[in-house]
Amino acid sequence: MDEVHGQVRAGRQAAWWLYLAAGAVVIVVYLLISADVRHLISPMVSASATVIILVVVRRKRPHLAAPWYLFAVGMALYTAADTLFGIYQFEGTAVPFPSPADALYLAAYPFFTAGLIALTTVQNRGLGWAGLLDAGIITLGATTLAWVFIMAPYLSSDLSALPLAVSLAYPLADLVLLCMAARLVLATGTRTPAFLLLTAWLCATLGADGLYYSTLATTGAPIAPEVSYTVWMASYLFLGAAALHPSLDRTPQLAEGGQAALSGPRLVLLILLALMGPVLLIVDAGEVRHQPVHVGFISAIVGCLTLLLVLRVTLLARYAQSQAGQARTRAQALERSLRDQTSLQKQLSHQAFHDPLTGLANRALLAERLEHVLSRPSAVGTTGLLLIDLDHFKDINDSLGHPVGDEVLIAVAHRLLGGVRQQDTVARLGGDEFAVLVEDLPSDGVCDYAQRLLGRFKDPFALSGERSVYVAASIGIVAIRELLPPAEALRDADLALYVAKDQGRNRAVMFEPSMSTAQQDQSRIAQDLRYALTRNELSVYYQPVVEMDTGETTGVEALLRWNPRGRDPIQPEQFISIAEETDLILPIGAWILREACLQGRRWHDQTPDRRALTIAVNVSGRQLKDPDFPETVTRILLETGFPASSLVLEITENVLIADVETTAAHISSLRSLGVRISIDDFGTGYSSLSYLRNLPVDIVKIDQSFVNTAAAKDTGIIQAILYLSHALGVDTVAEGIETSEQADRLRTLGCPHGQGFYYAEPMPAQALEQHLAAHPVPELRHPTG
């Protein structure tokens, strides 16, 4: 499409050049040939311009066709007039005055004028008063000249009415045309070649006319008429060329605003024109000074000119005012946008260094401050860094939703801010992790400072909707004792925080170098644990659970053992939590469950007497949260053929209580299979007996910390647990019985089942088989874990 368009344009451009060249040749021919025939050439040129305008405007349909049709009519009238004139010349007859040719010439003017008005008014919606005033001043200036040199002599001559009228009509028509031409030429904006050619046509026409009539009235003959004829012919050529030029389609965008402004040269021109009248009178040009009519007329023109100039200057002043107003508005807008930009910049830099939720400093700002503080030797002994992590915050998010979680974080931020001094920096590092950089430590030291902050968590946090939640926190503390990189200070605080969490949360722990070693050990354990299953390093030990009255083994607890290749055995307490963190507990937990069930099935099959033997398997909180867990248990029971009623799943009390809602569904679906649920380490978690009533469990395992002490308080607790369990129909196992005294005491208290080194230590399956041979399993009665 573009290509076709380009080709058409190129064609038109070529035609334009051809037309100009042909026109130039015609003019040369005109000048060379004899006088009687040369005047027949002129109508040919004007006819060509007429035809070109009509063809181009019809075919190209430019945006603005009307002015061009008007020009075409004017040119057609010129053609007719030139033809008549040429015929007179050719025939050698004197041209009568006025002749029909004059009528045709004069008839063309209104069309040209109308065309120009249409071009400036229709297309550009008027060029405004300024343009009109400028054109008016120019025209009036020219009028004084015309009056003095053309019209006054005609009026003083003895011409009869018709020749006089025709003689006056030419300059008058020219003046009107000049006014319109000036308006167009003075307009500012993009000037296309077509527009420039149109301007050239007007200048040539008016110039040739001016030259022709300048001496006609006074001397009776035009000065250099051949020059005027040639220029007229050139003017036709310009109009034709303007129509033919490809830029005709592009409308020149004439501007009004620029017109109101007054350039220096234009101002000088306007003043000179205004002075024209007085000067002509002073020098008595055309000898009109002694003729009162002419003096009066010229004075009237001068008066009009002055008025127009005053109006023009007023317009200029108004324009200057509006320009100044605009400049002021622009300056104000600029000032506003500068202000906006500055505040935006401030906002951005605030955002870059602050947490959007709480408004506290963010990790980047803390790092920067830490860097600054730790670069000064004075920081040693006076600076502390606290890393604060909310305990079980995930549970709040999970159970109450994220918006509530956000509210809690904001409330915590406020509490922390309320507990620190002005020189300290409180930051939110992300999630539920906060930090406080303490400078110029208070005299009671960083530990007391941390304890005070912990104390601020004692009261519940009030939330919207009259709700409130208790949130505890763990704190890792680093006291700066040597200048160290900020990253190391943060890492040490993190280790101390980890230990605080590990020690049961809701506490502040000071960093000690040994923690680094422990951390390295943990990393190594996490690394090695990945291969423990595939390298067959895991095994299962079984510890008997006995009936206290008879000493008979009613069940066994499966306990995980890990013997890493080339290293000492690692205790479950050391690696179970790591397995939970790394999610390795999922495959490991499934593995031990399968092993235990397979083994249980074997024992059941070996002797029918052992059918009552139960197997208890520990289940971690992470496993219980796994949506596939009930399915895994079902599948393993099916695959191994171990009866669900002989399987006990031990779940630590803390897990049960912290996640009642999420785990309750799993527990009930497991219980519906026939599997029993046991609360492990009962008494260590929330230690609230009332929980027993609501928990969907079958067995309670009293934690060994109550069992292997002789404290009266612990005995009381055991009694209460036993009493409540009995009332609720829940079975009880006492863990960690080490001595005969402990066993006797529990028996006396009425505890039905016990487990501990006193009866048997955890042992491999084979050893347990021998143990069972010596300690037979009782008849199928009420199996226990």
Whether residue 587 is preceded by a cis peptide bond, meaning omega within 30 degrees of 0, is no
Of 140-148, 605-613, 616-624, 670-678, the segment contacting ligand C2E by CB under 6 A is 616-624
Kindly tell me which residue out of 205, 618, 646, 732 binds ligand C2E, with binding defined by CB under 6 A.
Answer: 618
Of 91-99, 204-212, 720-728, 736-744, the segment contacting ligand C2E by CB under 6 A is 736-744
DSSP state string for 720-739? HHHHHHHHHT-EEEE----S
| 623 vs 725 by CB, closer to ligand C2E | 623
Of 54-62, 205-213, 344-352, 567-575, the segment contacting ligand C2E by CB under 6 A is 567-575
Non-local (6+) Cβ contacts of 707 within 8 A are: 714, 718, 734, 735, 736, 737, 742, 746, 756
CB-based contact 157:168 (threshold 8 Å): no
* Side-chain half-sphere exposure of 292, counting CA atoms within 13 A: 0
| 185 vs 700 by CB, closer to Mg ion | 700
Closest by CA to 729, choosing from 701, 692, 703, 779, is: 692
What is the footprint of ligand C2E within residues 638-697 (CB under 6 A)? 650, 680-681
| 46 vs 620 by CB, closer to ligand C2E | 620
Task: Give the other-Cβ count within 10 Å of 377's Cβ.
Answer: 9
Q: Is there binding between residue 572 and ligand C2E (CB under 6 A)?
A: yes
* Side-chain half-sphere exposure of 397, counting CA atoms within 13 A: 10
Contact characters 585-604, ligand C2E, x per CB under 6 A: ----x--x------------
For the bound state, the minimum distance from the C-beta of residue 617 to ligand C2E, rounded and expressed in Å, comes to 6
397 touches which of ligand C2E, Mg ion, none (CB within 5 to 8 A by kind)? Answer: none
For the bound state, the minimum distance from the C-beta of residue 758 to ligand C2E, rounded and expressed in Å, comes to 6
Kindly tell me which residue out of 89, 205, 599, 620 binds ligand C2E, with binding defined by CB under 6 A.
Answer: 620
For the bound state, the minimum distance from the C-beta of residue 596 to ligand C2E, rounded and expressed in Å, comes to 8
Rounded CA gap, 200 and 191, in Å? 12
Q: Is there binding between residue 544 and ligand C2E (CB under 6 A)?
A: no
| 355 vs 650 by CB, closer to Mg ion | 650
Kindly tell me which residue out of 124, 543, 663, 732 binds ligand C2E, with binding defined by CB under 6 A.
Answer: 543
620 touches which of ligand C2E, Mg ion, none (CB within 5 to 8 A by kind)? Answer: ligand C2E
762 touches which of ligand C2E, Mg ion, none (CB within 5 to 8 A by kind)? Answer: ligand C2E
Helix (H, G, I), strand (E, B) or coil at 124: helix
| 650 vs 731 by CB, closer to Mg ion | 650
Of 343-351, 400-408, 565-573, 603-611, the segment contacting ligand C2E by CB under 6 A is 565-573
Of 167-175, 260-268, 403-411, 571-579, the segment contacting ligand C2E by CB under 6 A is 571-579
DSSP state string for 137-173? HHHHHHHHHHIIIIIHHHHHS---HHHHHHHHHHHHH
Non-local (6+) Cβ contacts of 637 within 8 A are: 597, 643, 644, 647, 673, 675
Kindly tell me which residue out of 48, 247, 614, 618 binds Mg ion, with binding defined by CB under 5 A.
Answer: 618
For the bound state, the minimum distance from the C-beta of residue 620 to Mg ion, rounded and expressed in Å, comes to 11
Kindly tell me which residue out of 680, 707, 765, 768 binds Mg ion, with binding defined by CB under 5 A.
Answer: 680
Q: Is there binding between residue 559 and ligand C2E (CB under 6 A)?
A: yes
Of 437-445, 453-461, 471-479, 642-650, the segment contacting Mg ion by CB under 5 A is 642-650
Q: At what angle do helices 100-124 and 161-186 cross, to 10 degrees?
A: 20
Kindly tell me which residue out of 249, 256, 609, 738 binds ligand C2E, with binding defined by CB under 6 A.
Answer: 738
Q: How many residues bind ligand C2E (CB under 6 A)?
A: 23
Closest by CA to 49, choosing from 209, 238, 192, 250, is: 238
Kindly tell me which residue out of 153, 405, 756, 785 binds ligand C2E, with binding defined by CB under 6 A.
Answer: 756
Of 56-64, 116-124, 606-614, 735-743, the segment contacting ligand C2E by CB under 6 A is 735-743
The DSSP symbol for 375 reads T
- Both tokens of 95, joined, read 């041209």
| 23 vs 762 by CB, closer to ligand C2E | 762
Kindly tell me which residue out of 681, 733, 752, 772 binds Mg ion, with binding defined by CB under 5 A.
Answer: 681
- Both tokens of 426, joined, read 């409180």
Please write down the HEC assignment for all residues of 9-63. HHHHHHHHHHHHHHHHHHHHHHHHCCHHHHCCHHHHHHHHHHHHHHHHHHHHCCC
The DSSP symbol for 401 reads -
- Both tokens of 709, joined, read 């002490």
CB-based contact 763:597 (threshold 8 Å): no
Closest by CA to 667, choosing from 655, 681, 685, is: 655
Q: Is there binding between residue 560 and ligand C2E (CB under 6 A)?
A: yes
For the bound state, the minimum distance from the C-beta of residue 467 to Mg ion, rounded and expressed in Å, comes to 35
Of 57-65, 407-415, 464-472, 754-762, the segment contacting ligand C2E by CB under 6 A is 754-762
For the bound state, the minimum distance from the C-beta of residue 686 to Mg ion, rounded and expressed in Å, comes to 16
Non-local (6+) Cβ contacts of 175 within 8 A are: 139, 142, 143, 146
Closest by CA to 746, choosing from 777, 699, 713, 702, is: 702
3 touches which of ligand C2E, Mg ion, none (CB within 5 to 8 A by kind)? Answer: none
Non-local (6+) Cβ contacts of 378 within 8 A are: none
Please write down the HEC assignment for all residues of 206-267. HHHHHHHHHCHHHHCCCCCHHHHHHHHHHHHHHHHHHHHCHHHHCCCCEECHHHHCCCHHHH
Applying CB under 6 A, which residues contact ligand C2E?
543, 559-560, 571-573, 576, 589, 592, 618-620, 650, 680-681, 704, 735-738, 756-757, 762
Q: Which residues bind Mg ion (CB under 5 A)?
A: 618, 650, 680-681, 735
